[in-house]
Structure 1
């Protein structure tokens, strides 16, 4: 069953990630600048972030299997419109429709996986479902780039459309799960619970940092890679991401989610700073993509686990907000990256992305330190210290 959910996230993830390798071809075909074509990523992400909580309310009382099926069919319809579109407007509309389907699918898949897994294996269950996203970077993205070379970027999107249809058919094996229903007011109330907004903001800033760079990876690597070489480099990044995501699930169950998140964010903050130099040398770029994939993809599963630990009684609602935060960050990153590309050039994408990840790290580390200092200065702590002396 988890494999079916992973297949669905693979389809969604392939669409989300594959544009990084297709932007030059899309821009040329639709006669727009690369930075403008990159805003298709922004559009998808903004639509996803807005529609996720709305779709969650509308489908709250639906059987989860029905939600998964409908979501994939809407996603496939949007993908077909993108593949057949002859203008930027039609492609953009198709992208928005696909985003609505994706916004219903991904949080539902995560909620079902979390609900069906025992607590001690929840981290691995989430990592399995999220593994569809990382597998999309391993197979979907580089194969998409290769397909666009053999046919066109439209060929790639048609293949993604077919994946969505297959994922829809696969939902028949998912148990007819019903999760607790939260009314719209309680969905907003979750945001006022301690730690929730900080966790969501951490997710948003991390994705902003990553997608400032990833969206325009073809431009960033243009000094050393294009075509087939770019596909190989994306495969390296994705393969490392699968390893990192798999390790993250086990490390989260063993050492706790916060520790894994801190390692991932600290690594991202340092690694993205190296892009101005690494982009000029193929070996350095390959090594950096390997490390970025392995350590960066350690973030998602433990971050979701942190959110579930924060509000265990409202996990489906919280995961819906997490998806919105993820794609709000993706939108911010792709928009910011487009501005950086136009104003300062590709070399500055890495440092700007690193700054966003460093802010995310601060959101994880600083509240814990303030809480520790407050505990030490509390009357109870003072009495305990006096009793020891």
Structure 2
């Protein structure tokens, strides 16, 4: 199916149903003085929901998304929505930018004009890009996934077909964070014949070669032979070869998983059970998502020091109106069953750039990235967190421009 122009248009019935639900919330209790210790703070969620009900205007947000050139296509049976904005410059470089969870195409709305039209934002028109921003399968305005196995490798295959076959870009660049970083790494590894280079804000995939594979080990064997989480840890004999910086990173990842990783465990094991609550309750969905934006951003506990209420609610709304919270969280289940372990000769050989934001979930040293990536640029940012395109758009775009300039 050839890509067709697409207009985001949520029915009035969906919005009226949402308003009814927001007017009839059954609120939970909370320990006095709990703040955010137990999860999303009750007073803040009540304040946010009151604005959602009485002040937030979805039609304004919808118009903002429709200001971009939206398209819809079907690739190998999977419906894919994407933004495709052409660059304004002498020779725009094609680039596909992939979001993660709980992100969406909205996460990229600030960087798209900076990438397509640098001259209008104080940059050099020679740095312009043709920008493609898809909604991942099962996310946002793409179709819900209907079959098992939609993991980052499968998404990368769809993206390559979108870029090379559908849009005719025989050579293109790729960028992403969170799951989008995994998809981007997969593009660089499996589709190097088309990919010029990759830029990511995370290097949690792939897992470096460690000697004998961890695949197929029983849980007891993993506990005996692995440091880190049994689902994604590292062999003890491999760990003995790591630098102090790399061991510190593993300690940080283990501590983070214990303190913050509960969401990933349930989404990776029983996403269907979780979905009954999140797909039915807009307040539950809001609390589930907003807590991540607060925890994963460089905001010192004040989420609105970085994002507006409209930013947060537009993100939540994209999941709500499309009913894709269930299909989005299934990616954790699918990826958890197909962990990406490198073999002894495996490496992402295309040129790679890594932008490390200090409040990212994991901040590895360069030496760790170089085990699996052909690192040509390594930038340690002064501030910023997990949702870099939304939180630090100018800094992210500047790093992308500088890296890809030599690959044009």
Q: Which has the higher strand share?
A: 2
**Which of the five TM-score ranges fits, normalised by the shorter chain?**
under 0.3
Structure 2 length-normalised TM: 0.24
**Higher RCO, 1 vs 2 (CA within 8 Å, ≥6 residues apart):** 1
Q: TM-score, normalised by structure 1?
A: 0.24
